[in-house]
Each structure stands twice: as structure tokens, then as C-alpha cells.
Amino acid sequence: MSYIFNAEQVKDRCVQWIREFFEQNGPGCNAVIGISGGKDSSVVAALCVEALGRDRVIGVLMPNGEQADIDMAKLLVGHLRIRHFIVNIKDAVDGVTQSIPCELSRQSRENLPPRIRMATLYAVSQSNNGRVANTCNLSEDWVGYSTRYGDSVGDFSPCSNLTVQEVKTIGRLLGLPDVLVDKVPIDGLCGQTDEDKLGFTYAELDRYIREGVIEDAKKKERIDMLHRINAFKLQLMPAFDPQI
């Protein structure tokens, strides 16, 4: 049976799911969300506001020095009227980078800021009776487009089973400004757009995920390869069992 996406039903069910998560895992706790100004963090924040009320949602903006699109993150917290903190992580990133006695690879340098951001989110969360929201979506997770123990983790994940197109549709349903929903996704690590770095569009990826259809054989091969080599990111850490 093909998957039929009903945005209003999915939005309502997700809101109820968030409420139930907090009832079971922290009654009265706050949702703590890293706000980048992109569609994913915007939609997750808006879902949490609808589920819990704006007084129980905290946004954390974490620029690494100068962030060109910081105004988008400020627009989101202003639009939702949620409490927020701005924590510049540059000194922390520089401190760790300068303290490591070996030459860091390019990938290590790119992945360090998201890991420091997640440590920051948990520090804010533990100090504000919080639970950290994961803001990943199914499309990015499918091809491993996240940083392990950085943006890939959290305490609850409203959108990790929704594709990019579905997240955007829900964002419009929630009344978010178009500029946030349609903002060109940039990885925030090396300055490239997501689609430039991946080698295919999210529209192509989403159709392949939901319908199994993609016309370009090379893109299909690349998606399959990325899905295969990054599957470990979505699994629990393997642990030795001496009883087996």
C-alpha cells in the first residue's frame, strides 16, 4: 500500500505524541531546541509550542562566531514568542581545537561545532528542567546527513520520520513565515548547500524514499551507497554480550 501523507492529521498526531512523551518522561518539563533558522528547527519549535504552550519551549541560538543567517533564528523565536538564549560557541570550539595535540582532519573540524552545540543544549536543558528536541528529518537521516553525537541525537524526535517535503508542508500548516520554511538548507559546517554537497535534490530523495522512484541511475546509486554506509548512525551502539 502506498503511503498517503495527510499533513493536518500528521501534525495533530505529532502534537499529541509530544504531549504524551512529556507526560511520560517529564511532566512539567520544558522542550529545549537548538534554533538554526532553518525549516527543521522552526517546525519542531512550532510543534512544541502547540503541544506544550510557548512558556514551556526554550530556544537556544548557537552561532560559531559570526553567523550570516542568525536573523532567521531570531525571526523564529520572535514569531513564536518563546524564551531563548544566545550562546556563541566560538571560544569553546577554538579552545578544543587548539588543545588537541594532533592535526585535525577537515571532517573533524566540521563536526566539532555540532557536537559542542549538543553539549551546550544539554547544559541548558539540565539547568532549565528540560528535554532536548532532536530536529532531524527522515530525508537527512536516510543518507546520514547529520553529525553523530551532534545534531543526530536528543531526547525526543518529532520529525525524524517525515521527509523534507512533509516537514515543509507542516511548517506552512503551522503558520510559519515562508522565509523560514523555504530557506535554502545550508549544512552550517562548510558553507555549501545541502543539495550541492549531497549531489541530488531533496525532492528527488523524498520521492525515492516514499515511492521508490528515481530516474537518474547514478543518483540512485549514490543514495543507496550513502544509506548503506551511514545506517550505523541510527542504531544503538553495539555492545558485547558475554552470555551469547
Q: What pLDDT is stored for residue 1 in this prediction?
A: 45
Region at 41 (left for phi over 0; alpha for psi -120 to 50; beta for the rest): alpha
125 is written with which cell numbers? 536543558
- % of the chain with per-residue pLDDT over 70: 97
Q: What is the mean pLDDT of the chain?
A: 94
Band (pLDDT 50/70/90 cuts) for residue 189 is low
Residues contacting 136, CB < 8 A, separation 6+: 40, 146, 151, 152, 157, 159, 160
Q: What pLDDT is stored for residue 3 in this prediction?
A: 73
| Residue positions counted in the chain | 244
Please tell me the number of Cα atoms within 13 Å of 13 on its side-chain side: 9
Give the pLDDT confidence of 106-121 residue by residue, as tens digits: 999 999 999 999 999 9
pLDDT at 21 over 50: yes
Q: Among residues 177, 216, 165, which one has the least CA distance to residue 37?
A: 177
Q: What pLDDT is stored for residue 2 in this prediction?
A: 62
Domains and CATH numbers, the chain: 7-234 (3.40.50.620)
pTM for the whole thing? 0.94
Count of H-run helices and E-run strands, the chain: 11, 4
Give the pLDDT confidence of 136-163 residue by residue, as tens digits: 999 999 999 999 999 999 999 999 999 9
H or E segment and range at residue 131: strand 130-132
Q: What pLDDT is stored for residue 183 in this prediction?
A: 85
Region at 95 (left for phi over 0; alpha for psi -120 to 50; beta for the rest): alpha
pLDDT at 234 over 90: no
Give the pairing of strands 130-132 and 83-86. unpaired
Query: Hey, CA dihedral for 75, 78, 84, 87, is it positive or negative?
Result: positive
Question: 83 by DSSP, 3-state: which?
Answer: strand
- Pick from 1-5, 26-30, 92-96, 204-208: least confident: 1-5
